[in-house]
Structure 1
Amino acid sequence: MAMKLFMAIAALAASGAALAQTPDASRFGYGPVFAGHGPHASVAADVIIPEGTVFKHSFDGSERAEDGQNRTLIAAARFLNMHAAAGVPRENMALAVVVHGQAAQDLLTAEAYASRFDGAANPNAPLIAALVGEGVRIILCGQSAAGLGLDETADLLPGVEVALSAMTAHALLQQDGYTVNPF
Protein backbone atom coordinates (compact mmCIF):
# COMPACT_ATOMS: atom_id res chain seq x y z
CA MET A 1 0.00 0.00 0.00
CA ALA A 2 2.84 2.40 0.84
CA MET A 3 4.51 1.71 -2.51
CA LYS A 4 1.19 2.23 -4.34
CA LEU A 5 0.74 5.56 -2.55
CA PHE A 6 4.31 6.61 -3.34
CA MET A 7 3.83 5.71 -7.03
CA ALA A 8 0.58 7.71 -7.14
CA ILE A 9 2.32 10.70 -5.55
CA ALA A 10 5.19 10.37 -8.02
CA ALA A 11 2.61 10.41 -10.82
CA LEU A 12 1.16 13.60 -9.32
CA ALA A 13 4.59 15.19 -9.30
CA ALA A 14 5.21 14.15 -12.89
CA SER A 15 1.85 15.61 -13.92
CA GLY A 16 2.81 19.05 -12.68
CA ALA A 17 1.19 18.95 -9.25
CA ALA A 18 2.83 21.35 -6.81
CA LEU A 19 4.85 18.92 -4.72
CA ALA A 20 8.33 19.32 -3.28
CA GLN A 21 11.30 17.74 -5.08
CA THR A 22 10.92 14.66 -2.90
CA PRO A 23 7.27 13.77 -2.35
CA ASP A 24 6.23 13.65 1.31
CA ALA A 25 3.98 10.60 1.28
CA SER A 26 3.12 11.13 4.94
CA ARG A 27 0.75 14.00 4.05
CA PHE A 28 -1.24 12.00 1.51
CA GLY A 29 -4.00 9.50 2.04
CA TYR A 30 -7.06 8.01 0.39
CA GLY A 31 -10.78 8.38 0.92
CA PRO A 32 -13.41 9.21 1.78
CA VAL A 33 -14.87 8.24 -1.62
CA PHE A 34 -12.18 5.82 -2.83
CA ALA A 35 -10.20 3.78 -0.34
CA GLY A 36 -7.39 2.91 -2.76
CA HIS A 37 -7.47 5.55 -5.49
CA GLY A 38 -6.99 9.32 -5.70
CA PRO A 39 -4.41 10.26 -3.07
CA HIS A 40 -4.78 13.74 -1.62
CA ALA A 41 -3.50 15.86 1.24
CA SER A 42 -5.40 17.98 3.72
CA VAL A 43 -4.57 21.64 3.11
CA ALA A 44 -5.15 24.80 5.17
CA ALA A 45 -6.59 26.66 2.18
CA ASP A 46 -7.10 30.40 1.93
CA VAL A 47 -9.59 29.98 -0.93
CA ILE A 48 -12.74 28.77 0.77
CA ILE A 49 -15.25 26.53 -1.01
CA PRO A 50 -18.60 28.22 -0.36
CA GLU A 51 -21.29 26.11 1.28
CA GLY A 52 -23.64 24.71 -1.35
CA THR A 53 -21.02 24.70 -4.12
CA VAL A 54 -21.87 22.29 -6.91
CA PHE A 55 -19.05 20.99 -9.09
CA LYS A 56 -19.78 19.81 -12.62
CA HIS A 57 -16.29 19.17 -13.86
CA SER A 58 -14.69 17.33 -16.75
CA PHE A 59 -11.20 16.06 -17.39
CA ASP A 60 -9.48 15.51 -20.74
CA GLY A 61 -7.03 12.67 -21.22
CA SER A 62 -5.10 11.78 -24.36
CA GLU A 63 -1.90 10.17 -23.06
CA ARG A 64 -1.84 6.43 -22.41
CA ALA A 65 -0.33 5.34 -19.13
CA GLU A 66 3.07 3.87 -19.92
CA ASP A 67 3.49 2.23 -16.52
CA GLY A 68 0.61 2.01 -14.07
CA GLN A 69 -2.67 3.87 -14.06
CA ASN A 70 -3.73 6.72 -16.29
CA ARG A 71 -3.00 10.11 -14.66
CA THR A 72 -6.26 11.64 -15.84
CA LEU A 73 -8.30 8.85 -14.23
CA ILE A 74 -6.26 9.25 -11.02
CA ALA A 75 -6.98 13.00 -11.12
CA ALA A 76 -10.74 12.38 -11.28
CA ALA A 77 -10.57 10.08 -8.24
CA ARG A 78 -8.39 12.63 -6.44
CA PHE A 79 -10.91 15.40 -7.21
CA LEU A 80 -13.74 13.43 -5.59
CA ASN A 81 -11.66 12.37 -2.58
CA MET A 82 -10.19 15.76 -1.76
CA HIS A 83 -13.41 17.71 -2.18
CA ALA A 84 -15.46 15.19 -0.20
CA ALA A 85 -12.79 15.32 2.52
CA ALA A 86 -13.06 19.13 2.44
CA GLY A 87 -16.79 18.91 3.13
CA VAL A 88 -18.36 19.08 -0.33
CA PRO A 89 -21.29 16.63 -0.32
CA ARG A 90 -20.83 13.78 -2.81
CA GLU A 91 -24.19 14.61 -4.39
CA ASN A 92 -22.80 18.07 -5.23
CA MET A 93 -20.12 16.65 -7.53
CA ALA A 94 -20.66 15.41 -11.08
CA LEU A 95 -17.56 14.38 -13.02
CA ALA A 96 -16.77 13.24 -16.54
CA VAL A 97 -13.51 12.04 -18.07
CA VAL A 98 -13.23 12.49 -21.83
CA VAL A 99 -10.63 10.14 -23.29
CA HIS A 100 -9.09 10.33 -26.75
CA GLY A 101 -5.88 9.53 -28.60
CA GLN A 102 -3.63 6.79 -27.25
CA ALA A 103 -5.33 6.97 -23.83
CA ALA A 104 -8.28 5.13 -25.40
CA GLN A 105 -6.29 1.94 -24.90
CA ASP A 106 -6.46 2.41 -21.12
CA LEU A 107 -10.22 1.74 -21.34
CA LEU A 108 -9.93 -1.77 -22.79
CA THR A 109 -11.31 -5.02 -21.41
CA ALA A 110 -8.85 -7.58 -20.07
CA GLU A 111 -8.92 -9.50 -23.35
CA ALA A 112 -8.52 -6.50 -25.64
CA TYR A 113 -5.77 -5.00 -23.47
CA ALA A 114 -3.85 -8.29 -23.23
CA SER A 115 -4.00 -8.75 -27.01
CA ARG A 116 -2.39 -5.33 -27.55
CA PHE A 117 0.14 -5.38 -24.72
CA ASP A 118 1.76 -8.83 -24.63
CA GLY A 119 -0.76 -10.44 -22.31
CA ALA A 120 -0.55 -7.70 -19.67
CA ALA A 121 -3.46 -6.95 -17.36
CA ASN A 122 -5.06 -3.51 -17.67
CA PRO A 123 -4.00 -1.66 -14.49
CA ASN A 124 -6.77 0.90 -15.11
CA ALA A 125 -9.67 -1.57 -14.90
CA PRO A 126 -10.15 -1.40 -11.10
CA LEU A 127 -9.98 2.41 -11.11
CA ILE A 128 -12.43 2.69 -14.01
CA ALA A 129 -14.84 0.32 -12.25
CA ALA A 130 -14.57 2.42 -9.07
CA LEU A 131 -15.12 5.69 -10.95
CA VAL A 132 -18.09 4.34 -12.90
CA GLY A 133 -19.48 2.92 -9.65
CA GLU A 134 -19.47 6.45 -8.23
CA GLY A 135 -21.29 7.84 -11.25
CA VAL A 136 -18.27 9.34 -13.01
CA ARG A 137 -18.85 9.35 -16.75
CA ILE A 138 -15.97 7.90 -18.78
CA ILE A 139 -16.50 9.05 -22.37
CA LEU A 140 -14.38 7.75 -25.25
CA CYS A 141 -13.82 9.67 -28.46
CA GLY A 142 -15.35 7.57 -31.23
CA GLN A 143 -12.87 8.98 -33.73
CA SER A 144 -9.96 7.76 -31.61
CA ALA A 145 -11.61 4.36 -31.20
CA ALA A 146 -11.99 4.05 -34.97
CA GLY A 147 -8.43 5.23 -35.59
CA LEU A 148 -7.05 2.66 -33.14
CA GLY A 149 -9.20 -0.13 -34.55
CA LEU A 150 -11.24 -0.59 -31.36
CA ASP A 151 -14.62 -2.29 -31.34
CA GLU A 152 -16.81 0.22 -29.47
CA THR A 153 -19.00 -2.61 -28.20
CA ALA A 154 -16.71 -5.54 -27.40
CA ASP A 155 -13.37 -3.92 -26.50
CA LEU A 156 -14.40 -1.41 -23.82
CA LEU A 157 -14.75 -1.87 -20.08
CA PRO A 158 -18.29 -1.78 -18.65
CA GLY A 159 -19.63 1.73 -18.17
CA VAL A 160 -17.44 3.40 -20.80
CA GLU A 161 -19.55 5.57 -23.10
CA VAL A 162 -18.68 6.42 -26.71
CA ALA A 163 -19.20 9.88 -28.20
CA LEU A 164 -18.92 10.90 -31.84
CA SER A 165 -15.71 12.66 -30.86
CA ALA A 166 -13.92 14.13 -27.85
CA MET A 167 -14.78 17.57 -29.20
CA THR A 168 -18.46 16.60 -29.26
CA ALA A 169 -18.31 15.25 -25.70
CA HIS A 170 -16.65 18.41 -24.37
CA ALA A 171 -19.10 20.68 -26.22
CA LEU A 172 -22.11 18.79 -24.83
CA LEU A 173 -20.67 18.72 -21.30
CA GLN A 174 -19.98 22.46 -21.42
CA GLN A 175 -23.53 23.12 -22.62
CA ASP A 176 -24.64 21.15 -19.54
CA GLY A 177 -22.61 23.41 -17.25
CA TYR A 178 -19.40 21.38 -16.84
CA THR A 179 -16.10 23.17 -16.47
CA VAL A 180 -12.97 21.69 -18.07
CA ASN A 181 -9.85 20.88 -16.06
CA PRO A 182 -7.12 23.09 -17.58
CA PHE A 183 -4.27 20.60 -17.06
Structure 2
Amino acid sequence: MRSRFLLVLTLLLCSFLNTSFAQEKITGSLLKEFGETYTVPQPDIPVDTTATYRVVFDIAKSPENPAKLNPYFNTVARFLNMNTSAGVTQDHLKPVLVVHGSAAFGLLTNQYYKEKFGVDNPNLKLLERFHALNIPIVLCGQTAGSRGITSEKRWQHTQMALSAMNALVYYQNLNYALISF
Protein backbone atom coordinates (compact mmCIF):
# COMPACT_ATOMS: atom_id res chain seq x y z
CA MET A 1 0.00 0.00 0.00
CA ARG A 2 2.80 2.38 0.91
CA SER A 3 4.63 1.68 -2.37
CA ARG A 4 1.44 2.44 -4.31
CA PHE A 5 1.07 5.74 -2.47
CA LEU A 6 4.69 6.66 -3.22
CA LEU A 7 4.23 5.75 -6.88
CA VAL A 8 1.11 7.94 -7.18
CA LEU A 9 2.83 10.76 -5.32
CA THR A 10 5.88 10.50 -7.60
CA LEU A 11 3.70 10.54 -10.73
CA LEU A 12 1.79 13.58 -9.49
CA LEU A 13 5.03 15.38 -8.66
CA CYS A 14 6.50 14.58 -12.09
CA SER A 15 3.31 15.73 -13.76
CA PHE A 16 3.44 19.01 -11.83
CA LEU A 17 7.11 19.57 -12.67
CA ASN A 18 6.51 18.94 -16.37
CA THR A 19 3.66 21.45 -16.54
CA SER A 20 5.40 24.05 -14.41
CA PHE A 21 8.32 24.19 -16.85
CA ALA A 22 6.25 23.97 -20.04
CA GLN A 23 6.91 26.73 -22.52
CA GLU A 24 3.95 28.90 -23.37
CA LYS A 25 3.24 30.07 -26.92
CA ILE A 26 2.79 33.84 -27.00
CA THR A 27 2.05 36.57 -29.51
CA GLY A 28 4.61 39.30 -29.85
CA SER A 29 4.36 42.75 -28.47
CA LEU A 30 5.80 44.38 -31.60
CA LEU A 31 4.12 42.41 -34.41
CA LYS A 32 1.05 40.89 -32.78
CA GLU A 33 -0.33 39.14 -35.87
CA PHE A 34 3.01 37.63 -36.92
CA GLY A 35 5.95 35.78 -35.39
CA GLU A 36 4.52 33.84 -32.46
CA THR A 37 7.20 32.66 -30.06
CA TYR A 38 7.56 30.54 -26.93
CA THR A 39 8.50 31.72 -23.49
CA VAL A 40 11.87 30.58 -22.18
CA PRO A 41 11.70 31.33 -18.45
CA GLN A 42 15.36 30.86 -17.54
CA PRO A 43 17.64 30.63 -20.58
CA ASP A 44 21.17 29.44 -19.90
CA ILE A 45 22.47 32.00 -22.37
CA PRO A 46 21.24 35.41 -21.21
CA VAL A 47 19.81 38.01 -23.58
CA ASP A 48 21.90 41.16 -23.52
CA THR A 49 19.21 43.82 -23.45
CA THR A 50 21.79 46.58 -23.94
CA ALA A 51 23.32 45.16 -27.14
CA THR A 52 22.38 46.26 -30.63
CA TYR A 53 21.36 43.26 -32.73
CA ARG A 54 22.48 43.87 -36.31
CA VAL A 55 21.32 40.83 -38.24
CA VAL A 56 21.14 40.13 -41.97
CA PHE A 57 18.75 37.32 -42.86
CA ASP A 58 19.64 35.36 -46.02
CA ILE A 59 16.24 34.28 -47.38
CA ALA A 60 16.17 32.12 -50.51
CA LYS A 61 13.23 29.72 -50.09
CA SER A 62 9.48 30.04 -50.33
CA PRO A 63 6.70 27.78 -49.11
CA GLU A 64 5.36 25.11 -51.47
CA ASN A 65 1.87 26.58 -51.09
CA PRO A 66 1.89 30.13 -52.53
CA ALA A 67 -1.16 31.02 -50.41
CA LYS A 68 0.97 30.68 -47.25
CA LEU A 69 3.10 33.36 -45.64
CA ASN A 70 6.79 32.79 -46.26
CA PRO A 71 7.96 31.21 -42.97
CA TYR A 72 11.39 32.81 -43.35
CA PHE A 73 9.85 36.29 -43.52
CA ASN A 74 7.87 35.29 -40.42
CA THR A 75 11.12 34.24 -38.72
CA VAL A 76 12.24 37.87 -38.87
CA ALA A 77 8.99 38.78 -37.09
CA ARG A 78 9.77 36.08 -34.50
CA PHE A 79 13.25 37.56 -34.03
CA LEU A 80 11.73 40.98 -33.35
CA ASN A 81 8.97 39.69 -31.06
CA MET A 82 11.08 37.36 -28.93
CA ASN A 83 13.76 39.96 -28.37
CA THR A 84 11.33 42.75 -27.46
CA SER A 85 9.59 40.30 -25.12
CA ALA A 86 12.99 39.60 -23.55
CA GLY A 87 13.53 43.30 -22.88
CA VAL A 88 15.54 44.43 -25.91
CA THR A 89 14.24 47.79 -27.07
CA GLN A 90 13.07 48.16 -30.65
CA ASP A 91 15.82 50.67 -31.45
CA HIS A 92 18.42 47.99 -30.61
CA LEU A 93 17.00 45.58 -33.21
CA LYS A 94 18.41 46.14 -36.71
CA PRO A 95 17.35 43.29 -39.02
CA VAL A 96 17.73 43.33 -42.81
CA LEU A 97 16.21 40.82 -45.22
CA VAL A 98 18.25 39.83 -48.28
CA VAL A 99 15.88 37.97 -50.59
CA HIS A 100 16.79 35.78 -53.56
CA GLY A 101 15.89 32.44 -55.11
CA SER A 102 12.24 31.41 -55.03
CA ALA A 103 11.64 33.70 -52.03
CA ALA A 104 11.90 36.66 -54.43
CA PHE A 105 8.37 35.99 -55.71
CA GLY A 106 7.13 36.97 -52.24
CA LEU A 107 8.16 40.54 -53.12
CA LEU A 108 5.76 40.77 -56.07
CA THR A 109 2.90 43.25 -55.98
CA ASN A 110 -0.44 41.65 -55.33
CA GLN A 111 -1.44 42.03 -58.99
CA TYR A 112 1.58 40.14 -60.32
CA TYR A 113 1.59 37.58 -57.51
CA LYS A 114 -2.05 36.79 -58.27
CA GLU A 115 -1.23 36.61 -61.98
CA LYS A 116 1.57 34.13 -61.30
CA PHE A 117 0.02 32.01 -58.54
CA GLY A 118 -3.74 32.66 -58.70
CA VAL A 119 -3.91 33.88 -55.07
CA ASP A 120 -3.28 37.11 -53.19
CA ASN A 121 0.26 37.69 -51.95
CA PRO A 122 0.16 36.61 -48.28
CA ASN A 123 3.47 38.38 -47.54
CA LEU A 124 2.48 41.98 -48.25
CA LYS A 125 0.93 42.76 -44.88
CA LEU A 126 4.09 41.65 -43.06
CA LEU A 127 6.33 43.45 -45.56
CA GLU A 128 4.37 46.65 -44.94
CA ARG A 129 4.86 46.21 -41.20
CA PHE A 130 8.60 45.76 -41.74
CA HIS A 131 8.65 48.92 -43.86
CA ALA A 132 6.84 50.84 -41.10
CA LEU A 133 9.61 49.70 -38.73
CA ASN A 134 12.33 50.87 -41.20
CA ILE A 135 13.55 47.34 -41.88
CA PRO A 136 15.27 47.08 -45.28
CA ILE A 137 14.08 44.43 -47.73
CA VAL A 138 16.80 43.88 -50.32
CA LEU A 139 16.27 41.90 -53.52
CA CYS A 140 19.05 40.17 -55.41
CA GLY A 141 19.36 41.85 -58.80
CA GLN A 142 20.50 38.60 -60.39
CA THR A 143 17.41 36.79 -59.14
CA ALA A 144 15.19 39.64 -60.30
CA GLY A 145 16.74 39.47 -63.77
CA SER A 146 16.61 35.70 -64.12
CA ARG A 147 13.01 35.48 -62.86
CA GLY A 148 11.64 38.49 -64.71
CA ILE A 149 10.85 40.49 -61.59
CA THR A 150 10.90 43.96 -63.09
CA SER A 151 10.57 47.16 -61.06
CA GLU A 152 6.89 47.46 -61.99
CA LYS A 153 6.22 43.95 -60.64
CA ARG A 154 8.01 44.48 -57.31
CA TRP A 155 6.56 45.60 -54.01
CA GLN A 156 7.23 49.34 -53.96
CA HIS A 157 9.62 49.42 -51.00
CA THR A 158 12.00 46.76 -52.31
CA GLN A 159 15.63 47.81 -52.43
CA MET A 160 17.81 46.35 -55.17
CA ALA A 161 21.34 44.97 -54.87
CA LEU A 162 23.69 43.82 -57.60
CA SER A 163 23.36 40.36 -56.09
CA ALA A 164 22.44 38.67 -52.84
CA MET A 165 26.11 37.83 -52.43
CA ASN A 166 27.08 41.50 -52.63
CA ALA A 167 24.33 42.54 -50.22
CA LEU A 168 25.31 39.86 -47.69
CA VAL A 169 28.97 40.91 -47.83
CA TYR A 170 27.98 44.58 -47.59
CA TYR A 171 25.99 44.07 -44.40
CA GLN A 172 28.51 41.69 -42.85
CA ASN A 173 31.20 44.33 -43.46
CA LEU A 174 28.97 46.66 -41.39
CA ASN A 175 29.15 44.11 -38.54
CA TYR A 176 25.78 42.48 -39.17
CA ALA A 177 25.59 38.85 -38.10
CA LEU A 178 24.48 36.44 -40.83
CA ILE A 179 21.48 34.18 -40.29
CA SER A 180 21.07 31.81 -43.22
CA PHE A 181 18.48 29.08 -43.77
**TM-score, scaled relative to structure 1:** 0.81
Q: Structure 1 counterpart of 2:81, which letter?
A: N
What is the deviation of 1:40?
0.6
The answer for unaligned runs of 5 or more in structure 1 is 1-25
Q: Secondary structure at the match of 1:80?
A: helix
Match of 2:123 in 1: 124
Q: Structure 1 counterpart of 2:75, which letter?
A: A
Report the Cα distance in structure 2 between the residues aligned to 1:181 and 1:101, rounded to whole angstroms. 16
Match of 1:56 in 2: 54
Cα distance change, pair 158–29 in 1 and its aligned pair in 2 (3 A): farther
Q: How many residues align?
A: 156
Q: Which runs of 4+ in 1 moved over 2 A?
A: none
- Percent identity, aligned pairs only, is 31
Report the Cα distance in structure 2 between the residues aligned to 1:51 and 1:35, rounded to whole angstroms. 21
What is the deviation of 1:156?
1.2
Report the Cα distance in structure 1 between the residues aligned to 2:168 and 2:96, rounded to whole angstroms. 9
Q: Which has the higher contact order (CA 8 A, sep 6+)?
A: 2
What value does the CA root-mean-square deviation take over the aligned residues? 1.3
**TM-score, scaled relative to structure 2:** 0.82
Report the Cα distance in structure 2 between the residues aligned to 1:129 and 1:66, rounded to whole angstroms. 23
The answer for unaligned runs of 5 or more in structure 2 is 1-22
Matches of residues 4-15 of structure 1 in structure 2 within 5 Å? Answer: none
Report the Cα distance in structure 2 between the residues aligned to 1:146 and 1:60, rounded to whole angstroms. 18
1:128-158 superposed Cα distances (whole Å, 9 cap, x missing partner): 111121121111100000000111x211113
